[in-house]
Each structure stands twice: as structure tokens, then as C-alpha cells.
Structure 1
Amino acid sequence: MKIIDKSVYNFSKDNEPIERAKPGDILLFKTLDCFGGQISSENQLVHELDLTKANPAAGPVYIEDAEPGDVLVVDILDITVGSIGFACSIPNSGPLHEGSEVRTKVIPIEDGYAKYNDIYWPINPMVGVIGTAPETGSIACGYADNHGGNIDSKLIKKGSRVYLPIRVKGALFQLGDLHATMGDGEICGTGIEICGEVLTKISIIKNLELNWPITETISHWYVNATGKSYDESLMIASKELCRLMKPVYNWDQTDVFIYLSLQGDVGINQGTRPMYDDMVNVRIGIPKVQGKEPLIKNKSE
């Protein structure tokens, strides 16, 4: 097992890898919270922090034999989190910011439960930031695009599998931004932000077209996509899901379109505005069907 315990704040092909790994390797990522440990009390507010150090991601890891046009497969084997998390409201961000204070809430994690005011609920840890390097440029870890990044899907958790497009040699894989729990949409701008560890297993699918990250759960396939509006994001995700479905289901686009209205599952991963300049992350998924081939075949299995 290889341990990844250093972080960067952007996805870029120019980032120097801190570790090398081979398909089949087990990687343990040790992650900071989304503000890099800057918050230690409820007296510290988001707008007082150094936000150039937001959403650190552990890595990157150079994956041997990974080439542009391949797909990186990441199995989330386990997630453990710290004993103290926090959530914050953010100035001018989210649907209730008018009339709300900018506030930091420290949230203890006790015996697998989060304590918020006078109520408790079981934690369900997830990975917010996960991705590979884009072909060109540099993208801050707080943003998402077709390389992955700040996808913020609560379905990227223990037992899930994530498929990521590879656009540079070695992939340059990294992850971070754990949440003990988070609601769909993350409407105040944070989940229960927390440090922790993520145990993963990696593999590669050679020469497979994939335009956007995919999450596979025990029961569903989901495309994650990002646009400047809900409508644009949903269109992007639907087109990619349709492209993947057509050869497996042997249906035309119209039959896929109707089916998605009957059995499709649409969710907003991250929709807080104007914090992310009108960036909306959505997912659209379909149930796995007995007798149908998987949308993506992992030939290493």
C-alpha cells in the first residue's frame, strides 16, 4: 500500500507527482479539510480565511501505463474521518443568504454520528474532490469540469467506483475535500468539512472514450457533468449517458430519452451560487438492469 499525504490546490499536467503507482495498487490518501486546517473555532469565518488554499487534494499520483484516451478506474474501498468537522455559511452564497448570518458551526463526530445542536444523525463519508489532470491549463480544486475536480457527489463514498477520463500521460490522479455528510446541492456552500483518509484501488481501461466522470454504485450508473446553469449541465450529462446507453441497450436516442424520463434519476451535486460563478454540478443515472451489459466494462475483472 502506498500513502499519499501531500496536497496541491489545482489540477494541472505541470504538477509534479508525489508518488507513482501501477494498476492494481492500493493507495491510501490522507486528506486535509477543505480549508486546509485553517479553522479551529467557531470564531473563525470563511471570508477571513486564505481561500487560495481551499479544497486541497492529496496527490497527484502518476499512474504507470496511463495514456490519453484511457480511463482511470478508482474503487473507493473505505473512508475514515476525524473527530471534529465544521460547516459554514458563506457571504452572498446560497438561497437563504439574505437574512442569514455568516457563521461557522463546529460539529463533533461521536461513535459514527454527527452532533448538530440538539440532534444526531449517522455519518455517511464522501469524497468531494476527485480527478485527473486536464489536457491544458490549470483548474483550481474548488471547481469541476470534465476532468473531475470538485464534483461534490454524495454518492462517491465507500463501495462506489469512479471512472475518470485520462487526458495526460500518467493521469496525475488526486483526491480530497471529505465530508462526514452532505446534502444534495450543498446549498450553504459546505458539507461537514473534515480531514480523513481514503483507501482506494486503481485500475485502467485502455482506449475507451469517456467525456465526463462516471460514478458506479451497487445499483446505478451516474454521469456527473458541470455547466453554467442547471439546463446546460443536465443537457451535457444526458447526452453522455445517452451515448453510453445506445450500444448497450440497442435503442435509438428517442427510446433512451423516454426511458430517462421514466427511470432516470437526476440530482444536483453542487449548486451553490454565486460562490462558483454559476457552476452547477449535476448527475443523471439509470438503474442497473439484470441481463444488460454494464455501461462500462472493466476488462481487468
Structure 2
Amino acid sequence: MIRRQGPSPLYYEASPGNRPTLWVEPGEVFEVVTQMNRGPDISVVPYHLLEDWSEYHSYQVERANPSSGAIWVHGAEPGMVIEVVIENMELAPVGYVAFSGNNTMFPSAPLTDEKLGAARVVRIHDNQVIWDAGLTIPARPMIGMMAVAPTHEAQSTVRVGHWGGNMDVQEVGPGARVRLVVNVPGALLHIGDVHALQGDGEISGTGIETSALVRLRVELMPRPAEMIWPRIVTPDYIFTVGADRPAESAFRVAVSELIRWLHADYGLEPREAVLLLSQVLEARATQVVNPTITYVAGVRQEILRGLV
């Protein structure tokens, strides 16, 4: 029988002080039920979505990006890396997108007044987001917040750092492997903030916020000496994650991490890695609305297979 972490208790910080709520073995398949972020007033919800909204959404959510418990991984110790393998995600049938109206990203546009805020509640069906009667968009399920506990401090699940956190990277979905450096015994894995879809930048402040049943397993590996920030491996790419402000600082972190990875695992001298990345690097800001901006830097696997 597959063990499951329910949507409670909710943690709003990734913290070494959080009580573990599920204990798993390396390689064991388990499930996490995530909680949707607190959404717009019920007056915004279309009548035909009210029943699903009442089932999958809760106005009791206190803050953004709650984690469904904290998962203890047996055998995980500082000096190791956990690799979180996302096997499957079953989305709830309803979600929402919201914009507060006071977004300082656009000071020259008329979008800095709370009275101009907007929200939309949408149906999610057959891996499609039903935007309205005329527009259906393919869903791309992702886990926005994935973190381990930092060594000493508690970090808000809104923040991003070397522990992971609210990275909001679209590639963190089914088929991806997310690698995080272990800071405390058991790692204390935190999962939350599922999106059915999200554009680069997440410029309204949300993706299609929803909940999901997520099937995962965790593997253990030694920590590479050069690894500090999260890494993501997909069938088509490898990515490094960096976060900072301004955006160019986040970009610098992500690319520096990628150069070190290419040197350690693929034998490229750093100067040769720079020459290659100048031609084939793929990088972007996946969100610009959190306290720090998330950048990913990646290379296609087909390029890496050609390295001798």
C-alpha cells in the first residue's frame, strides 16, 4: 500500500523545527496531497464551479504556498543530496489565477491600483485549462514549492534559496528529478504550491493555482563537492537554479552553478564550458514576483551526449 501525506498539517516555513509527518525509505513510492493557495472571494467563482471550489479550496489557508507536512527521508544526512523523482500529478478539477492590482513590476502601466485587481476561477479537465468558452490551454502540471529544511533557520515557503523553496520552475513536473542538498538529518522535504500552468515570470503573482495528488519517490546520493543550489534533470535537459535580486545576479548564480556541474561531471574546463554555453545555454527567469527572482540555466541532453 502506498503511504500518503495529506494536506494537513500545513507548514508555512521550511524549518528544521518542523515535526515530521511522514517517514519514507529511499526508493519508496509515496503520495502527497497538496493544498491550494487561498484564492479570491467566493463571489468570483462561477456557479457551475462552486461545488468543486468548496471541495478543493479552503479559506482557512493562512499564508501563501503551504507545505503539506514535512517528510523525513530515512538515511538522509548532511553531506548527501536527495533526488526527488516526480512520477505523477493528478490535478484538482478547479483552479484560479489572481492579480492584486498593485504590482510594482509595471510602474509605467496603469496596473498599480488595488481597484484594478482581477481574478479568474477555471475548470481543469483532461489535462486542459478551460479559460473560457473559446479558449482551452494545455495544462503543464508543476510543483512550485519544493524545499528541504535549512541548517538552522526557518525560511518562509514564499522564499527561494539553496534549500529550494518557492522556485516556481515549470520543469518541476512529472518526469523530473529535483536534487537538493541535505542540511539536517532526514532532510525534511516540503511540498506545496502546485500549478496547473504558469508562464515565465509569473507576472500576475500566480499561475493557475490548484491542488494535486502528487506521486513521488526519493533517492539518496553523495553531495557533489561543487553543488550548492538545486539541480533539475529531465529527459531532455539539465538545469541549475539560482535566486537573487536583481535578475542578473540570479542569472549569474544559475550559470555559475551550471559551469561547475559541467566541469565536475562532463570534464569541461570552466573556460571551455563558457565557450560552449555561449552558444547553447538556455536560461530564463521563471518568476519575478517573489522576494528574490528565480533563474534557471540549462543545456539540452543531446548536447551533453556529444561531449567526449
2:259 corresponds to which residue?
Answer: 242
CA distance in 1, matches of 2:123, 2:287: 24
1:296 corresponds to which residue?
Answer: none
Matched, 1:67 2:77: yes
Matched, 1:34 2:37: yes
- 1:1-301 matches, within 5 Å, as 1-5=2-6, 6=8, 7-35=10-38, 40-42=42-44, 52-93=62-103, 95-96=105-106, 98-100=109-111, 101-117=116-132, 118-209=134-225, 210-272=227-289, 276-277=290-291, 279-288=292-301, 289-290=304-305
Deviation at 1:93, TM superposition (A): 1.9
Report the structure, 1 or 2, having the larger helix content. Answer: 2
Deviation at 1:290, TM superposition (A): 2.1
Deviation at 1:263, TM superposition (A): 0.7
Structure 1 residues without counterparts, runs of 5 or longer: 44-48, 294-301
CA RMSD, aligned part only? 2.0
Structure 2 residues without counterparts, runs of 5 or longer: 46-58
Closer, same or farther: CA 52–229 of 1 in aligned 2, 3 Å: farther
SS at 1:193 equivalent = coil
CA contact (8 A) 2:84 2:216 kept: yes
Deviation at 1:206, TM superposition (A): 2.6
Which amino acid is the alignment partner of residue 280 of structure 1?
I
CA contact (8 A) 1:42 1:103 kept: no
TM-score (norm 2): 0.86
Deviation at 1:251, TM superposition (A): 2.5
Which amino acid is the alignment partner of residue 268 of structure 2?
W
CA distance in 1, matches of 2:193, 2:295: 18
CA distance in 2, matches of 1:141, 1:157: 18
Closer, same or farther: CA 114–15 of 1 in aligned 2, 3 Å: same
CA distance in 2, matches of 1:259, 1:191: 33
CA contact (8 A) 1:147 1:164 kept: yes
Q: What do residues 261-291 of structure 1 show as CA deviations (whole Å, max 9, x unaligned)?
A: 111110111112xxx34x1100001122226
TM-score (norm 1): 0.88
Deviation at 1:112, TM superposition (A): 2.4
Deviation at 1:213, TM superposition (A): 0.6
CA distance in 2, matches of 1:197, 1:180: 12
SS at 1:79 equivalent = strand
Deviation at 1:185, TM superposition (A): 1.1
Which amino acid is the alignment partner of residue 294 of structure 2?
N
Q: How many residue pairs were aligned?
A: 283
CA distance in 2, matches of 1:219, 1:267: 16
Which amino acid is the alignment partner of residue 99 of structure 1?
P
Closer, same or farther: CA 39–225 of 1 in aligned 2, 3 Å: farther
CA contact (8 A) 2:157 2:166 kept: yes
CA contact (8 A) 2:237 2:298 kept: yes
Q: What do residues 190-227 of structure 1 show as CA deviations (whole Å, max 9, x unaligned)?
A: 00000111100111003433201111110110001111
CA contact (8 A) 1:212 1:240 kept: yes
CA contact (8 A) 1:225 1:237 kept: yes
Closer, same or farther: CA 241–151 of 1 in aligned 2, 3 Å: same
Deviation at 1:8, TM superposition (A): 0.9
